[in-house]
Amino acid sequence: MALRIAVLVKASLDPNMLRSKNNGLLDEHAMPLALSEYDKNAVEAAVQLRERNGGSVTVLSVLTWGPVARRLREFEQVIREALAMGADDAHIIVDDALVPGDPASTAEALAALAKALGGFDIYIAGEASMDMISGQVPARLAALLNLPYIGYARSIEIANGAIRAKRDLEGYIEHVEAPLPCVVSVTGEINKPRIPTLIQVRRAFRKPIKRYSVADIGLNKVYKPLISEIRVISVKRRNIVIEGDNMDDIAAKLADIIAGLLPR
Amino acid sequence: MKRGWLMRMLGFTYNEEGLGELAGLAAALGLEAYALAVGSRDSVADYSYSVFKRIYYAPRMSTDQAFAVISDLYDKIKPDMIVAPSLKDNTTVLAMLASNKKLAMFTEAFGIVLMEGKIRAKRRVMGGRAEAYYEASTPIALTIARGYYAPPASSEKGAGLEEVKPPASKLTILSVEVKEKGSVDLESASIVVGVGRGFRRKEDLRLAEQLASLLNGVVGASRPIVADYGWLSEDRWIGISGKKIKPKIYIAIGISGAPQHMAAVMDAETIVAINKDKNAPVFQYADYGVVADLYKFVPKLIEKLREKLGGR
Ligand SMILES: Cc1cc2nc3c(=O)[nH]c(=O)nc-3n(C[C@H](O)[C@H](O)[C@H](O)COP(=O)(O)OP(=O)(O)OC[C@H]3O[C@@H](n4cnc5c(N)ncnc54)[C@H](O)[C@@H]3O)c2cc1C
């Protein structure tokens, strides 16, 4: 069975490049967008499914960080990365109404887009985005599309029109089966995302990316963003790098420091 | 609590202990509380805090069954807040409900403040390195961050219990594998030695164990060591998706210093980092850093500490 696979990816603010303003507020405009860490696992899982079962991998994404005009190129670069990893094409939603994003609006937009595209056999997302860590979008999408949802999968396989997965939960692993179509979220442990080669990166530039507005997909319900401000937690540490003539010397110095701090 | 309005809460949880947190929240905020829990009548009865007007339960429910049941309860009870402790499947069920009822939702909330028809709360974002301030009108769905709402002081039990019958599920649960369970209490440990992917083999963790036992401490780990390699059990997992710790000393060895890991150790009094890469982000979070190969350095550190601490 040739599978129509959708992979949901987010262009997240990169928390490894955290920037704050003088007043302690997050300086989001100074932070780059990047393909969210566990969404890479989702793309890898999608590409592997296609390699095993045949079919196609379509990237679906909503731009959630503005300003839209300034972020558009960056957003496209992130989408190209997913294409370079092996996805075939991409459909993206770019609209001021969806910026800054809220998981409820994002899920509504993705559901409307999926319907406009005629639906997919399987929808794969990462367990949570690296910036907002809400972990809501795939579950919300499943409810909107009225499909079964398999959350936190660390392995998936498809046979006879059904999906089998091992779900990685607190304290136990659950083996489940669901009929297709189905929505799945994957953990960071499901696979090791491939790093695209230069040729794949170049080829990705020829793959189609189609852009939509909220009006194009007939979306009427857009939620109000709920966040009033984002404050960076400050780190105040001594940042002393212990140096010495040789390793014994450094070890002795650190041993002194640690011994001095030990509770009596 | 004296105010002209009352908020009604519908709690949900997959683990019965979660009823304690929900009861704690309801008591702290003065809510009229109902809950749906997954568990047997006996196990739910153990947590039937009298702050609940009623607890609905079913011995087993897949996430889509729980979604169906809680949707019906939502229509019946008309809550202002639907709340669950932070647990993966709790998040799933609430997100499905929120989607279905067109509600906003935020996960891992703390610092919850209620006003008439409104709620304010905070949650960690940016890999745990920043706090976002949320304000939303009710009804609202939220999961609560671990460790903020303890069970109520009054342990009085006896809330009314009512079994619910879930509809058929689209998901078939084939089997369940229980993970190896550890009993290390990282949250209250005063010395924690953290191990990361700088360790090449499971056996090599012995170095960290030796160091920890010399200091009367315990070994914790980054996510890959626990979740990917399975070298240590889940109780050792430090980070935003594991445990948050507040030891006197945290010694990070072979850990790069990802925000999702470091956000959970920020309350440590002193942080020591040992990493062979002088540009590793972990040094930005450290009071004392050593740039060295852990395989060469840690044995020497153990030796020097032994000399200093004598027979410990
Ligand atoms: C939504 C989300 C949630 C997450 N939750 C968590 C979480 O709860 N906890 C968590 O830990 N991570 C979490 N992560 C993952 C996190 O982003 C990092 O991938 C992870 O913390 C890296 O672990 P590490 O430092 O052990 O490995 P690496 O990043 O690979 O670092 C290994 C380090 O070891 C050093 N090293 C290598 N060899 C040696 C040697 N011989 N001697 C000394 N140093 C050496 C290297 O220089 C490197 O700095 C999460 C990520 C996301 C997106």
Query: CA-CA distances (angstroms) from residue A161 to A62, A150, A179, B114?
Result: 29, 15, 6, 47
Q: How far is B148 from chain A (nearest CA, A)?
A: 18
Q: Which residues line ligand 1 (CB under 6 A)?
A: A 37-38, 128, 130, 133; B 196-198, 222-224, 238-242, 254-256, 258, 260-261, 275-277, 280, 293-295
Domains: count for chain B: 2
**8 Å CB contact between B123 and B93:** no
Q: Name which of B96, B129, B278 is nearest A143 (Cβ-Cβ).
A: B96
Q: Which CATH number fits the domain A3-236, given the four candidates 3.90.1170.50, 3.40.50.620, 3.30.379.10, 3.90.1150.10? A: 3.40.50.620
Domain boundaries, chain A: 3-236
- Among all chains, which residue has been given the structure tokens 């058929």? B168
B144 and B212 assigned to the same domain: no
Q: Which domain does B248 fall in, by range? A: 186-308
Residues of A in contact with B64 (CB under 8 A): 148-149
B142 and B283 assigned to the same domain: no
Please identify among residues 3-42 of chain B the ones whose CB lies closer than 8 Å to any CB of chain A. none
Cβ separation of A175 and B304 shorter than 8 Å?
Answer: no
- Which ipTM was obtained for this model? 0.96
Query: Tens digit of pLDDT for each residue in A110-147?
Result: 999 999 999 999 999 999 999 999 999 999 999 999 99
CA of B239 to the centre of ligand 1 (A): 10
CA of B224 to the centre of ligand 1 (A): 7
Query: Tens digit of pLDDT for each residue in A169-226?
Result: 999 999 999 999 999 999 999 999 999 999 999 999 999 999 999 999 999 878 888 9
B137 and B231 assigned to the same domain: no
Q: Which atom of ligand 1 is nearest to the CA of B255?
A: 25
Last residue of a domain, one of B148, B163, B178: B163
B198 and B301 assigned to the same domain: yes
Last residue of a domain, one of B96, B131, B163: B163
Give domain status of residue B176, yes or no.
Answer: no
Give domain status of residue B94, yes or no.
Answer: yes
Give domain status of residue B246, yes or no.
Answer: yes
Residue A175 contacts B where some CB pair is shorter than 8 Å = yes
Strands, E assignment, A127-246: 149-159, 162-169, 172-179, 182-186, 209-212, 227-232, 240-241
Domain of residue B274, CATH code: 3.40.50.1220
Q: Name which of B105, B278, B292 is nearest A136 (Cβ-Cβ).
A: B105
Residue A215 contacts B where some CB pair is shorter than 8 Å = no
Give domain status of residue B293, yes or no.
Answer: yes
- Residue by residue, DSSP assigns B185-212 as -GGG-SEEEEE-TT--SGGGGHHHHHHH
B52 and B149 assigned to the same domain: yes
B115 and B216 assigned to the same domain: no
Give domain status of residue B171, yes or no.
Answer: no
3-state secondary structure of A27: coil
Strands B130-137 and B118-125: antiparallel
Give domain status of residue B285, yes or no.
Answer: yes
B20 and B142 assigned to the same domain: yes
> How many whole angstroms separate alpha carbon B191 and alpha carbon B248?
6
Residue B280: phi and psi, rounded to 5, are -60, 135
Query: Model pTM?
Result: 0.96
Domain of residue B120, CATH code: 3.40.50.620
B203 and B133 assigned to the same domain: no
Give domain status of residue B2, yes or no.
Answer: no
Residues of A in contact with B100 (CB under 8 A): 143-144
B124 and B261 assigned to the same domain: no
B105 and B26 assigned to the same domain: yes
Return per-residue pLDDT of chain B as tens, 312 residues.
557 788 999 999 999 999 999 999 999 999 999 999 999 999 999 999 999 999 999 999 999 999 999 999 999 999 999 999 999 999 999 999 999 999 999 999 999 999 999 999 999 999 999 999 999 999 999 999 998 999 988 778 989 999 999 999 999 999 999 999 898 999 999 999 999 999 999 999 999 999 999 999 999 999 999 999 999 999 999 999 999 999 999 999 999 999 999 999 999 999 999 999 999 999 999 999 999 999 999 999 999 999 999 755
**8 Å CB contact between A63 and A72:** yes
